[in-house]
Amino acid sequence: MSKIATIGFFDGVHRGHRFLFAQLHEHAKHHQLTPAIYTFDRHPKELLAGQAPAMLTTHDERKSLLQNYGEVHFLDFSSVQHLTAEQFMRHLHDEQDVAALLIGYDHHFGSDRLKGFAEYEKIARKIGMHVERAYECLVDGIPVSSSRIRKLMAAAQIDQVNRLLGYTYGVSGVVEHGNAIGAKLGFPTANIRLNSAKQLPASGVYAVEVHLQAQQSSSNAIFERSDLQGVPRRSTPYKGVANIGTNPTVGNDHLSLEVHLLDFQGDLYGQSLSISFLHFLREEKKFASLDELKKQITEDIREAIR
């Protein structure tokens, strides 16, 4: 069966993307076509501007989430970046059996940088393709976008991040040895090896939920408490408190992510953890003594479990 397709990078697979995919399925049903999603192996800015933004989802996370909404086709961006809009549409029509194209409300493609939907309509008529323009998804009167979510995350507004994503934002990493200061204070922490390609929330202290690798049932494991289709639920997570920053009280010179799991007993070294960020508790600060730091951690835990 021929396809109706939509195109984009879809980082985060957020509520705006899923609103687009819902429209894709409506049009697919109406025109009796197969819904298909065309995306890229890497962010276009990586090649066009020399540097991509920090990602909201890894390649595997994005692929796993997108598969809930139709056929997913990953394109090598370097092989199509030189194509004009007409050449790209002809490629989809002639080689990918795409009979119709649903274009995001503000999406533009093609090396000739066409600006208006009317120009895409003109090309479509020329090559025998049908095009539709998608409606935008607004939250608080503002379009939902990956860049908007990244800005909110950089401002530590994790509640708003989760609201626009439609699931709790999370990162995964392997536990490695740190400086063991937390253990000395009576609050042992898991020091997480960071993925430099994925965006961390702003520095500070957060209430989190943590899952161990043995509890995870799929690569979607960080997307708990979500409205995503097809995402399996997991066993009960550990509540916890996470600190992102340089730990100024003990004088670290590098960014780290450390997590204290409540009611956990055991050895975490070498294990993979998935950390979901629920709420921002406070900014990171330097304390005059370790005793003051210990008192504040106690208060952070009390606040996190409320």
pLDDT at 119: 92
* Least trusted range by pLDDT, from 70-84, 110-124, 210-224: 210-224
Check residues 246 and 200 and name the one with the higher pLDDT: 200
Strand partners, 151: none
pLDDT band at 168 (very low <50, low <70, confident <90, very high): very high
Which amino acid, one-letter code, is at 231?
A: V
Residues 69, 72, 75, CA angle at the centre, nearest 5°?
145
Of residues 113, 73, 77, 119, the one with CA closest to residue 97: 73
pLDDT (tens digit, 9 = 90+) per residue, 250-304? 666 678 899 999 988 888 889 999 999 999 999 988 888 888 888 899 999 999 8
Give the tens place of pLDDT for each residue, 52-84: 889 999 999 999 999 999 999 999 999 999 999
Per DSSP, the three-state class of 3 is: strand
Q: What is the pLDDT at residue 126? A: 96
Q: C-alpha angle with apex 40: 55 to 95, nearest 5 degrees?
A: 170
- d(C-alpha 226, C-alpha 165), whole Å: 9
CATH 1.10.10.10 holds for 3-139: no
pLDDT of residue 157: 97
Separate counts of helices (H) and strands (E) for the chain: 10, 13
Q: Do residues 276 and 237 touch, judged by C-beta distance below 8 A? A: yes
Q: Record the tokens describing residue 15, joined without a space.
A: 């509520």
Assigned architecture for domain 167-304: Beta Barrel (2.40)
Q: How many beta carbons lie within 10 A of that of residue 243, not counting itself?
A: 22
Rounded Cα gap, residues 160 and 189, in angstroms: 27
pLDDT in the model for residue 247: 78
> d(Cα 232, Cα 221) in Å, to the nearest integer?
8
Give pTM, 2 decimals. 0.88
In the chain, pLDDT over 70 holds for what percent of residues?
90
Domain range list for the chain: 3-139, 167-304
Does the pLDDT of residue 220 top 90, yes or no?
A: no
pLDDT in tens, 132-161: 999 999 999 999 999 999 999 999 999 999
* Encoded tokens for 35: 């819904």
